Amino acid sequence: MSSLKRFQPGYDTPARSRDTALLFLARGMDLLVSDHDGHLALPRGADLPEPAAGAHFLGVLDDTDCYAVALAGDFTPPEGLKFVPARSLYKQVDEATFAVAGRALSIAEWDVSHRFCGKCGTPTQLVAGERARRCPVDHTPFYPRISPAVIVLITRGDQMLLARNASFPEPFFSTVAGFVDPGESLEETVLREVKEEVGVDLKDLTYFGSQPWPFGRSLMVGFMAEYAGGDVTVDGKEIAEARWFDVDDLPRIPPRLSIARHLIDTFIDRVKARRPTS
């Protein structure tokens, strides 16, 4: 679902009513929503004034303030509201709102995990003007954690190498991905992950784009690369199977919100553009 909405990030809470603000009330990877005949909607500040007291200002979506709130695990939803996996909001809300939901999940998780200093145990304090907590004793700052990860589409002629992750809740094939190890460059991570997971070598590695991915609290950095050699051999742990696929005979692939799907769709468009027209 496309959207013309624009989001302007912010940190310091504005001096205005929260009654019409959107509340992203998080419990882990779940968000609190209302459900009217299968249509999910986010609550407003007037609906839940008490939980909004501990809210973090996220910014403004068009003319609407947005707040993230980290709820306790034993929080009981009031009548008319329920927890749903945040992913289920995809196509239920516009893309801009979905992106803010992802931001809210990450900030709520950071708020819960950094309320005390990891060095001395002192309660941390919010820092004005930025997204940070700081220990008032040793002044250690704590920022929201972002884990860099790479994702790569491997191509060979008009084919692409796609893999099925053993841990996917639903069986589909996607691109190879993995987290960056300390001391690695992004390019080194791509080569290592591909060799470990599917056993092949690469050439002509090129940057594609990036996407924040809150469901792993990561930043996905996308690449395209050409096959350079080696037999496809899966690791049997993370990857259950991997095969070459023609663009006209694809398996089930990731949904359109993901950078993996953007990589796949871009390659399909390139292959079809090269074909002669009758």
Residues placed in the known binding site for substrate: 87, 130, 143, 260
Which is nearest to 274 in space by CA: 155, 140, 108, 166? 155
Annotated binding-site residues for a divalent metal cation read 177, 193, 197, 238
Q: What is the per-residue DSSP string for 146-210?
A: -EEEEEEEEEETTEEEEEEETT-SS---B-EEEEPPTT--HHHHHHHHHHHHH--EEEEEEEEEE
Task: Kindly list the distances between the CA atom of residue 114 and the CA atoms of 129, 143, 190, 259, in Å, as whole numbers in the listed order.
Answer: 18, 9, 31, 29
CB 110 within 8 A of CB 127: no
Cα–Cα distance between 88 and 240 in angstroms, integer? 26
Cα–Cα distance between 247 and 216 in angstroms, integer? 29
- Exposed e or buried b per residue across 137-171, where buried means at least 16 C-beta atoms within 10 angstroms of its C-beta: eeeeebebeeeebbbbbbbeebbbbbbbbeeeeee
Annotated binding-site residues read 87, 117, 120, 130, 135, 143, 177, 193, 197, 238, 260
- Residue 204's CB: how many other CB atoms inside 10 A? 10
